[in-house]
Each structure stands twice: as structure tokens, then as C-alpha cells.
Structure 1
Amino acid sequence: MYSHLTFAQLEQETDRLARGLIEMGVQPGHRMVLFVPPSLEFIALTFALFKAGAVGVLIDPGMGIKNVFRCLNQVDPDGFIAVSLAQAARKLFSSKVPNARFNVTVGKRWFWSGPNYSDLLGGPWTPLDAPDTKSTDPAAIIFTSGSTGPAKGVLYEHGMFAAQVDDIRDFYDIQPGEIDLPGFPLFALFNSAMGVTTVIPDMDPSRPAQVDPKKIIEAINDQGITQAFGSPAIWNAVSRYCVEQGVQFPTLKRVLSAGAPVPIAVIERMHKVFTSDDADIHTPYGATESLPVASISGRQVLAETAEQTRSGGGTCVGELFPGITVRVIEISYDPIPSYADVQELPTGEIGEIIVQGAVATREYFQRPDGTLAAKIPDGESFWHRMGDVGYFDERGRLWFCGRKAHIVETPAGRMFSVRCEAIFNEHPRVFRSALVGVGERPQQKPVIVIEPEAGAYPEDEPARKKFTAELAERAAGNPLTESIETILFHRALPVDVRHNVKISREKLSVWATQQLRATS
């Protein structure tokens, strides 16, 4: 049973909600935390906040209560629009958010006052006289996942969202009237701006790896989905089930997957479930601070770059979006005061990736230290440091070799996570692997941590020795990995809370250190 809103109904509902916010005292610039799960209400409330001129604050609750309150402390919100449980927490810990005076409950009020969603709607619709907003006015604060450090609030301006919509629509030729299944809630907002119908999937967006493939398949085939967006973890689960059960998607023509490199095996399985000759899976590359930057299609991967990836060449993220400028510069762990201080690297040489364009955000909210570390002033403009390392090939395609924070600095030189892990991931019983460093830079010991495929974990010493010997032979056969002598097994590598695919190598490094101490 599906509930729905037409675009006309959504336009009127957002007008009514925005008027309700303005009448309760919300003014342009007020910071309103939105704790509402993916739903029609989530979409309507987000656009209502835009219309009211307020700044929507989005924090992933999956990062844990302590980290959530750390984010709230940075923001000092003026109010909450939230489900009952979140409003209860806000009320119980009111001393931590002392200025949150505009509060709307989505659901039942328990022991607090204030309007609920229905109250905010007010009476019948009349056209809204919305406050004027400029392209440089703040629109939202979206917190990073915190996968490589404390979560930071990325300040978005209205013009940045508009640029994202234009870039994504034009690059992928997304047409009004298409039907999208967004496995990541924010993509539903792009749909509304593009005239694309959104079908909200029955899943927990904070646990994409635990998605029920049958529910995704049902939504795609029942609703005639033409496009779907989601973490590689979603498509890993869905494609495995589809291939095993012989399920195909006759209406699906475009899948977008981001958050981490999409494994080649997932791309191969997805191509087995498409029925249209034009259907493909695309990987847009970017970050919360700058998206989109580049993109590559599954067909390009399988035909042109897969073998290089398998042999340790990194992951090709493809051609740049129009209007985006990317440079590869000498790796530095320090702030860079001016673009005049950077050293650009030639084609084929691995360095730090920096980006310039209309979709690049200017700053982190109330985090001048983070802004200083991540932005490079360049006259009246700036560059964003992606925190990634990679290189350009001779065809001008961008390749990703891992996070800068995950470089292992050994006496023999730098080792890049994505390049080294690819060698081990080709073993048929390896689901994924993680390169970590034990010790201090630049004297780190490289360690590879293996998560075996389901049912392949070595449960006894003979099995462990056999599996280890096979992996050691593979390592010795490639100059990228020949220095790796320590192989550890882990039943489930820790991953980020947002996409469930970014491996938390910082945690694994601590774990590996403990393992080595225990066996020494």
C-alpha cells in the first residue's frame, strides 16, 4: 500500500508548512535540525525550510548519541523538526540545546508542547509570499559521516544545490517523468527539483548493507522504476539475490552508486540483471563537500579499466563533470595557505586530489580549523582538498587510490590502500580487505586485514595457515604488495554508518596493533 503526493500537492504542502514555520517565529538563517526518516514528510519539510529561508541541519543518527550531541553543540540549533523519540531526547537533554525554541513534532507529542506536523500545515492553501533568498545564502548544514575523523558540518548555499541539480540532470540525461528509488534520502530532494517521481524504499537508510533485496526488487518492478541510487552495499546484496534467483529489471535503465568504489564483481552482476541494452550502473565520484566531481559507467569499467584495477592501478572514477576543475598536487598533511604554494604533479603520478567548481562548498560551519585544513585560497576563489589521493591517466581520466589518511608510510615508501587491497580482493574467498599501518609514520609496518566471503572464514589453524599461504603467495607476486608479510583475518570489517562500505581503517589499525602484541 503506497501513499503519494503529486508535484502540485507537494508544492502546496511545502507552502503551507513554510507559512507555519514563519508564523511560529522561524526566520531566515535560523538553524533547524531535521530528524525525520525518509518519507513524504521529510521531502516536504526540507523544501519548506528552504522556502522559509531557514537552514536545515542534517545529522546522521547512525553515528551514535555522543557524536550527534557533539554535532548539535557545533550548530547551536534554533529548533528541531523531529519524530517523537528525537523530540523526547531533545527535551530530556534540553541543557545541551538551550536555544532550541522552535520545535515541531512529526508524530505524537508525549510530554512537551509545540505544534505537530498537522498543526504546522494550518488551514487551506494560499500562495506563499516567501522571503527572498540569494544564491549565496546558507541553505543547509550537512554533517560528514565522520568516517576519517570527527564529523564536520558542511555549509551549503542555495546556489550550490542548484548547481548540483543541473550537473547531475544534464550529465546523466535525467528526464522529467522518470521514476527513481533513492536508497540515500538526500537524493529524493534532487528528484523533486528535476521533476522525477520518488518512490521511497522500505529500508533503514543507516544500514544499507542489511537491506532486504526482496523489498527493493518489489519496489523496482511494481512501480516501474527507471533509476535507482544507493550505496554499493545495497547493490551488492540486491545483485547477489537477483543472480541467484534469476530476477531481472525490465524498466531499470540507470543505477547510480556512490560512497566508495563499486566492486567490479557488483558491476558484473548488475549487468546480468538489466534487460535493456542501454541500462548501466554509474559511479559518481565526490564528497559531501563537493559533489559531483567525476563519473564512470559500468560498461567503461568492464571494457577499459577493470584489469588495471585488478592489478593494483587504483579505481578509475572517470571523466570530470563540465565546470569542474581538478588538480593532482604533491601530498601534504599541513594546511596550504595559498594555491601559489602547491606543486602540481604530472600525468600518471599519484598525489592529492583538489577540486574547484560551483558545487564545492566554501567552509565548515563553526570549524575554522577544518576549513583551514581543507581549503586552499586562490585569489578570489578557492580549491577544496578532497582528502583523497589519485592520478590522471594519459586519456585525462581520474583514478582514485585511497584516502590520504589511509596511506601507509613505510621505510621503503608510501603504500596506497586501494591499490594494494585490489591484489588480495581477487582471491575467490576474499570478500574485502584493508591495508593498515602499525607504528608511527614513516616507520609503519604494513598489515593486510582480510574479511573472507560468507562461510569462508578459517575456523582452525590448518585452514588459517592454508589461506594465509595462498594470500602470501599472491602478495609476493606483485611489487605493490611484496613487502606485506603480516596477514590477519577479521569476521566483519568495521565500516562507516552512512554507506556501510567505507572501511574504518583507523579502528582496524588499533585492532591490528593489539593482535600483533597478543601474538608476540
Structure 2
Amino acid sequence: MNEACNIAAALPRLAAEAPDRIAMRCPGRDGGYGVSLTYGELDARSNAIAAGLARRGIVRGTHTVLMVRPTPEFFLLMFALFKAGAVPVLVDPGIDRRALKQCLDEAQPEAFIGIPLAQFARVLLGWAKAARVHITTGARAILADVTLAQVERDGAGAGPQLSRTQPDDVAAILFTSGSTGVPKGVVYRHRHFRAQIDMLREAFGIEAGGVDFPTFPPFALFDPALGLSSIIPDMDPTRPANADPRRLHAAIARFGVDQLFGSPALMRVLADHGEPLPTLKRVTSAGAPVPPEVVAKMLSLLPEDAGFWTPYGATECLPVAVIEGRELLRLRERTEQGAGTCVGRPVAPNVVRVIRITDDAIEQWSDGLLVAPGEVGEITVAGPSATDSYFNREAQTRLAKIREVVAPTQPSPAGGGGLSGPDRRDVRPPPPAGEGWGGGQPEARIVHRMGDLGWFDAEGRLWFCGRKSQRVETADGPLYTEQVEPVFNTHPDVRRTALVGIGARGAQVPVLCIEPRAGIARGAHARIDTELRAIGARFPHTARIDTFLFHSGFPVDIRHNAKIGREKLARWAATRSHA
């Protein structure tokens, strides 16, 4: 019998092959790693919890909010929910309270599982009022129907639990970070998770038996399917910029970690600490462009044969493209001259294309949408990990998705233009009435609009130019954040800059917000301003910027602490600019 299409399907197999092998280690309150789960324990305990959940009515298709810290309970619950065929709902806990309530209401949860503090907030703030089952991870069932420990006891001895989920069944609802608006619930189907696992394995050459250090906890859920052991970092995953590098290094060295994922903010923490990382073979960083100086420093701390990868993607589609750090550094000069940030070549079998910029919905794909070679447009992706909808957000789904009709078994057009990525099908409009396809029945697929701007170079590499919603439309034409900010970020006293626009689209005044490096005195601002203007004068597009404002510390996203909150900065700049 074929394995179910389910991210938890690998667990029983791994438990049978190596029951005593460590699946994950988690830090305790004392900072030690006395808490661990073998593959046998993870499989058996998640079976018991899945059976106990079923007794409480949490079964296939049940929307279940999970608000639990990255402890063993989080991973046991996630695998139990997947085994039950239930639908976990994950929301970043650090988002605005009103936005969080809206997210939970939109997800229509029937069950709420959380730590005692989350249960208290649920009652106090009116979260998830439709939920009929409430389970706490606490020792007593306060503000909840039952404890997780009791649920596990109720299901003990029930045996294997694995729902025969199908590829198109909904597997989870994962909310975006909301860095450019209210978070949206991305509908993940089981086939999306399976595709991600296959694509990550191939893109990064991941082999079973490695030891992973996933500083973004949900990524640890991939590790059993990839045959990896997880070491959960001793840090607050919602504040990677504040992580203690000494604790991270201690765990990496102690357990022989050879693979690490972290946001650009965490990479900066490790780079600034400056201690070599001799056991690492593979480092990946995503969430925002990684500053070139951080890439260079990280490569200097890694073994010569280790890879530093920066995959490009989003909650809605991951991975899209990838580039290795050494190639990224070779292209650094082009980035600092205004080309954008190279994010590499598309990950097979994605089809990545660049279309003309519009804020309107596009119902049906046509090749007339494509931009000319080298022209900046919106990045789109069609591929097995590209999700097809937002939950209860029809308007946002229409704005982000394009329906495409494709003819099967036809050769793909060869490269060029705004098209990149392998494909075995010819992308064509439907044939006229009465005429056949001449190669099988037509198929439909969803093309996801990334909401990012970019372009392809002659070598088939994708260059990221910034968020579409953050472009600045001036009377002299558009300006894109990632083609402007790296030019000014070359100044030695500047930590980072942010381009924002003030005024109505089409007549916006471009403003450059500047965050100086730590220790730079306010008295130096006038000098830095003059020097930045001289830097900007070197290039036609940056020479158009005449308003410079200094800021003490940029707002950043709650998930990776790396995406700049340009919308907030624009409002701030509007109150201070006399342009």
C-alpha cells in the first residue's frame, strides 16, 4: 500500500528503521538539552495524542489553532494533528492583537490548543469564539476542557494513527507575517508540503542522517521527512536579532550540527560574534535579502567546502529560486550600482516568469503579460509548491492568483524573455472552438503572483527589486527599493536605508530614511547626509532623491526581524518632511 500523502507519513517508517535515533532535542528552562525525543517516542506519543484528539472530536478536516512554544509539545501536537488529518492553524503570536483576532476568526477554528497564557488571552480577548474544544498544555485544565497530558493518556495503546489524506486535502492554514498588511491565511495542501520536501532535498543536496538547527521552528517539521535530527535552538524564535550567539555556538558544537537555517537578522548575530562554525556544511538564510558584508563574514566562518545559500520564496510558495553566497558576492558590485539583489536561478520544476506591473487582478494567463528581456516586472511562479488560495480571503486570492490553461506533453519554449525554469508543457491559450489540442486534454494550473518586482538577466538569474506595494511612483518614473537602498548602504557609517514615497501615486516624492550604525553621534548626521548625496549623484536613478531623513531604528517584521516596515516609515517621514 502506498504511503499516504502526509508530512507525518515518514515518522512510522523512521521509527521502525531506527527507533532509538534522536529525532529532536529541545532546550530546557535551565538552558540545557535534557529534553529529547527519539523517532520511536515521537511516533508512539503522536499516535497516542492523535487518538486522544479523535476522542475529543478533532479529526480529519478539523481546523485547530495551535499556540504552543517550540517545545516537545509543539512538535508532538503538530505530528498528531497531521496524523489525524486535522488542519493546524498557525499565526505569529507577535502580530497586533486586533489583527490576531481577525486571523483567528477568519480561520473558523473548531478547536484551540495552547499554553495557559494563550488560553487566558483567548478568554480575555475573545479569540476563536467558535471553537468547541479547548486543550491546554498546562498541568491543570484551567480555562480549558482538558490537559494535553490527559489527551495523551486517553489515546495510549490505540496503535498507529495515520489518516489516508489525499494530495489535495487541506493540510494546514499558515498565516503570513503581515509585514506589508494584515496577515493572510495561506491554504497548504498535503501535496504542497510533499513538494517542498522534495524540492529542498534536491536544491540543497540534503542527505539523511544530518543534524539540523532550525531557528524558525516550523521548518523542523520537515526534518523527519528528510531523515534529519533537529536541535531546537535556545532562543526566542520571534526575536532572532536578540539571540545569544554563545548559546547557539554551544549547541552547534555539542551536537555536531551540520545544517542551519536562520533569518538575515540571526546571520548578522553570528557574523558579528565572529566565532568559526567548523561543523556546518550547509547554511540557509531567508526572509529578506542578506547584506553582502554578512554573507562575506559568514563564509569566512564556515569550512571551505560548506555552502551558504539564500533561497527566495514566500509563505505562499517556497522555494522559488536559490543562489549560493559566493556567486552572490561576485555580483555584489552590480547590486551596489542599482541592479537589485540577485536571488539566483529557479528551483526545478518551478516556472518563473516576469509580468507587467499592475495592481489589478488578472483572471487568465496570457503570454501578452510577459515583459521584455531585462525589464522589471512582477515575479510569478507556477510549480508544485505554489499554493492556490487564501482562506476566507476571496478578494486577496483574486489579486494573487492567475488561472493558466496548459497543453500537456508539448515541449516548452526555450528560455528568453521573462520566462525561466524547466517545464514539459507548452503554455498556450485554449485552441479555437472545434479544434483539438493535438496532445491530450488541456490542464489548468495556478500561477502565484509573488507581489515582488524583479527581472531576469541573460544568464537566467532572477534579480529581486523590492515589493510591488513599496515601489515609489514619481513624476519621473518608478523607483524600486532594492535598486536604490544598496547604493546608499555602501556608506561605512550607515547600517541600512529605506526608500519610501510621500504623496499620491504618480507624483510621489522619494525619501531616503537612514539608520546609522551604532555609536554614530547625531553631530555626524550632516556629514553623512552630504556624503550620501554624493554617492547618489553617481547614478541617474538615485540622483533623483533629494530628501534624506535620519531614523534611530527601523521597524521590522515580527517573524524574521529583517524586513523593513517601509509603510510605517512612510507615515513617519510624511510628518517630518517638508518636501
CA offsets per residue over residues 190-229 of structure 1, 9 Å max, x none? Answer: 1122110100001111111111111111111111110000
Tell me how far apart the structure 2 counterparts of residues 343 and 104 of structure 1 sit (CA, whole Å): 49
Q: Hey, what does 2:280 align to over in structure 1?
A: 252
Give the counterpart of 1:476 among 537, 558, 574: 537
Q: What secondary structure is seen at the aligned counterpart in 1 of 2:342?
A: strand
- Give 1:130 shift: 3.3
Q: Which amino acid aligns with 1:490?
A: H
Question: Contact 2:112–2:128 at 8 Å: present in 1 too?
Answer: no
- Give 1:265 shift: 0.5
Give the counterpart of 2:504 among 440, 450, 453: 440
Q: Hey, what does 1:338 align to over in structure 2?
A: 364
Higher deviation after alignment, 332-341 or 288-297: 332-341
Q: What secondary structure is seen at the aligned counterpart in 1 of 2:544?
A: coil
Give the counterpart of 1:104 among 101, 118, 135: 135
Q: What secondary structure is seen at the aligned counterpart in 1 of 2:454?
A: strand
Q: Hey, what does 1:172 align to over in structure 2?
A: 204
Tell me how far apart the structure 2 counterparts of residues 80 and 21 of structure 1 sit (CA, whole Å): 12
CA offsets per residue over residues 258-309 of structure 1, 9 Å max, x none? Answer: 00011101111101111x2211210010000000000001111123x11111
Q: How does 1:101-500 map to 2 (within 5 A)?
A: 101-109=132-140, 111-122=142-153, 124-242=156-274, 247-274=275-302, 276-303=303-330, 305-340=331-366, 342-379=368-405, 380-456=444-520, 458-460=521-523, 463-500=524-561
Question: Contact 1:75–1:366 at 8 Å: present in 2 too?
Answer: yes
- 1:511 paired with 2:572, answer yes
Tell me how far apart the structure 1 counterparts of residues 142 and 43 of structure 2 sit (CA, whole Å): 32
Give ranges in structure 2 of 5+ residues lacking alignment: 1-31, 406-443
Q: What secondary structure is seen at the aligned counterpart in 2 of 1:385?
A: strand
Question: Contact 2:177–2:183 at 8 Å: present in 1 too?
Answer: yes
- Give 1:471 shift: 0.7
- Give 1:407 shift: 0.7
CA offsets per residue over residues 342-386 of structure 1, 9 Å max, x none? Answer: 521122111110100110001000000010000011132121000
Question: Contact 1:330–1:344 at 8 Å: present in 2 too?
Answer: yes
- Give 1:93 shift: 3.9
Tell me how far apart the structure 2 counterparts of residues 192 and 40 of structure 1 sit (CA, whole Å): 14
Higher helix share: 1
Tell me how far apart the structure 2 counterparts of residues 32 and 296 of structure 1 sit (CA, whole Å): 36
CA offsets per residue over residues 149-182 of structure 1, 9 Å max, x none? Answer: 1110000001100000111012111111101111
Q: Which amino acid aligns with 2:364?
A: S
Give the counterpart of 2:84 among 52, 57, 75: 52
Tell me how far apart the structure 1 counterparts of residues 496 and 361 of structure 2 sit (CA, whole Å): 33
Alignment RMSD: 1.3
Q: Hey, what does 2:100 align to over in structure 1?
A: 68
The verdict on how the C-alpha distance between 1:30 and 1:412 changes in structure 2, with shifts beyond 3 A counting, is same
Higher deviation after alignment, 464-473 or 433-442: 464-473
Q: What secondary structure is seen at the aligned counterpart in 1 of 2:136?
A: strand
- Give 1:409 shift: 0.4
Question: Contact 1:58–1:143 at 8 Å: present in 2 too?
Answer: yes
Question: Contact 2:484–2:499 at 8 Å: present in 1 too?
Answer: yes
Q: What secondary structure is seen at the aligned counterpart in 1 of 2:266?
A: helix
Question: Contact 2:83–2:161 at 8 Å: present in 1 too?
Answer: no
- Give 1:127 shift: 2.3
Tell me how far apart the structure 2 counterparts of residues 108 and 68 of structure 1 sit (CA, whole Å): 26
- Give 1:418 shift: 0.6
- Give 1:311 shift: 1.2
Give the alignment's TM-score, normalised by structure 2.
Answer: 0.86
Q: How many residues align?
A: 508
Q: Which amino acid aligns with 1:459?
A: R
Q: Hey, what does 2:432 align to over in structure 1?
A: none
Higher deviation after alignment, 112-121 or 66-75: 112-121
Q: Which amino acid aligns with 1:267?
A: V
Q: Which amino acid aligns with 1:464?
A: H
Q: Which amino acid aligns with 1:103?
A: H
Give the alignment's TM-score, normalised by structure 1.
Answer: 0.95
Question: Contact 1:160–1:359 at 8 Å: present in 2 too?
Answer: yes
Tell me how far apart the structure 2 counterparts of residues 124 and 187 of structure 1 sit (CA, whole Å): 28
Question: Contact 2:82–2:171 at 8 Å: present in 1 too?
Answer: yes
Q: Hey, what does 2:6 align to over in structure 1?
A: none
The verdict on how the C-alpha distance between 1:120 and 1:78 changes in structure 2, with shifts beyond 3 A counting, is same
Q: Hey, what does 2:8 align to over in structure 1?
A: none
CA offsets per residue over residues 403-437 of structure 1, 9 Å max, x none? Answer: 00111000110101011001100001111100000
Give the % identical residues. 46
